[in-house]
Amino acid sequence: MTSGPHVHASPASVGQRQLRLRLKPQGPTTGYVDGGWWPRSRDLATELPALAAVLAVRLGVVHRVVFAMAAWGTTPRRVEIDGWRVRLEGFHFQDKDVVHVIGLDGRRVSLLVVPPEAGDTAGHDAMMAAGQRDNADSPATILAVSGVSAGEPIPVPRMASDGAEERWEVDGGRVHEHEWPSARS
């Protein structure tokens, strides 16, 4: 993906479509993301004005957006939104499922990006899960659990087999049957 010159954009240019965004309630930060955003295209310069307008409540003026170059189409280096220049910083190493939106004072909102092509139910579920107050799941896990993408496999707890306990005892461990005192004592 390449970066182009300066572009002018405004929330009105996005049309009258409702922004698909779910933010965690304000409070102590938990987890990987502060909410979920489900853009309608992979054109960041087109999608950003509506997002910046809503995030202005938390961040004030949006100053920078950090994104994965591989996840978006050709993106300019800057866009002008409501008279303010917003720097668009694309990186190859950035998580493709996250954008970081940063205000003038350095406050940041990190958002799970639900792929525009996600199905209605899966996309909605992923966006809502990312916006739950105590959600601490990784972006890949949120997307996978919601059915948006295969992502990374969700780890399943391993259970010790009888053979593992036997090996542990041979190596010096000991399985100890412990009888807990009853609650009546």
- Beta strand ranges found along the chain (DSSP E): 3-9, 21-23, 35-37, 62-68, 75-81, 84-91, 98-103, 108-113
Domain assignment present for residue 54? The answer is yes
Domain hosting 124: range is 3-146
Split at pLDDT 50, 70, 90, the class of 155 is very low
51 occurs within a structural domain: yes
Q: Can you tell me the mean pLDDT for 82-94? A: 93
In a domain, 10, yes or no: yes
Q: What digits encode the pLDDT tens for the residues 95-130? A: 999 999 999 999 999 999 999 999 999 999 999 999
180 domain residue, yes or no: no
Decide if 166 is inside a domain. no
Task: State the total domains in the chain.
Answer: 1
